[in-house]
Copies of this chain bind each other. A is one copy, B any other.
């Protein structure tokens, strides 16, 4: 008898029809002889609606009270799914994060898991029940209700899978798996049967929305393989695991595109120690999420610093940066929200030099101008004009052999 943890995201449980469809899938999994632990997100836009409600009553929102408010969304889904399972003859019981002993630190809205007790889940499973758990939440060492950040229901699922020593952790979402590129931008994109955790982390960092970075980090660190799949088509998805790519695997796993960032450039910055700190500390204090930073070697005693951040933070950072620029004697600040980020991600890069050079050649041939470059051991990211993004992504996808219908990976094992 296998123990399977299944996590269903917000779109998968967005309305009563979807909840019934999910109940059908849980019931099938259970009736095949598996023990099942289910983790659910809030229904569709429920969390957004609660945030809007909070904004409409108050501008002073402590983390503690936001956590009290937002955790109700997942609790509602958990209770509703449990009722739908009862209709299907499946004995189920819902629990809050607190009830199953997901113990976190005291950092409201971004709490870290300290311990997963899971006693009540074990008892429920031993009694032959399906345990349905409200994701995203825990209880702090101070007995307060906490949340672990957006997308943290995946984290709840991986943490429970690890604590319960589950045989599988299935992450159901609204896409059929992890793709070699966004199919809306690159029509030739294909579903990957497997991805390495390090690749998945780089993809998340590069803008892929399939899995939240913290959940992938947890799953990697605790070696909990994730099966990312669709709650709409139920087909086999993508296995994300610690498995190192073999020599037969492609060097590049995916082309990740991101149009959510804007670029700020500070020109004529005096080249002396402490200037970067003066610029980026106030942005960090204001919670502006700076992504890529590029600074060139000084030639005439001044230098230019460019960085990217979410477009949503642009207005806030603009005034901060302008003030600092004046302070440190920089000549000008420019903004550009007409940019896109393209990243190549592949664990095979480590043993395969020349990927960046080939990338730049492809883009040069496409007459695409590169504005910024940043690399890691298994990723190359560039900033280009957003108008060139689609063309560049398609060209890179083809040039790195990702268009092929052939699948380099071994077939998935049969579903239990």
Q: Are B68 and A72 touching (Cβ within 8 A)?
A: no
State whether the Cβ of A61 lies closer than 8 Å to any Cβ in chain B: yes
- Chain B nearest CB from A165 CB (Å) reads 25
Complex Cα–Cα for A56 and B72 (A): 19
Which chain B positions have C-beta within 8 A of A19?
57
Contact status of A83 and B64, CB under 8 A, knowing A72-B72, A75-B72: no
Q: Are B56 and A16 touching (Cβ within 8 A)?
A: yes
Q: Are B75 and A60 touching (Cβ within 8 A)?
A: no
State whether the Cβ of A320 lies closer than 8 Å to any Cβ in chain B: no
New A-B pairs, 6, CB < 8 Å, besides A20-B57, A66-B83: A54-B83, A58-B80, A59-B87, A65-B94, A68-B79, A69-B83
Which chain B positions have C-beta within 8 A of A412?
none
State whether the Cβ of A180 lies closer than 8 Å to any Cβ in chain B: no
The DSSP consensus for interface residues of chain A is: helix
- Chain B nearest CB from A354 CB (Å) reads 55
From residue 37 to 52 of chain A, which have CB atoms closer than 8 A to chain B? 50
Task: Name A residues whose Cβ lies closer than 8 Å to a Cβ of B.
Answer: 16, 19-20, 23, 50, 53-54, 56-62, 64-66, 68-69, 72-73, 75-76, 78-84, 86-87, 93-94, 96, 99, 143
Complex Cα–Cα for A80 and B60 (A): 10
- Chain B nearest CB from A14 CB (Å) reads 12
Q: Are B84 and A57 touching (Cβ within 8 A)?
A: yes
Q: Are B86 and A60 touching (Cβ within 8 A)?
A: yes
Complex Cα–Cα for A62 and B81 (A): 12
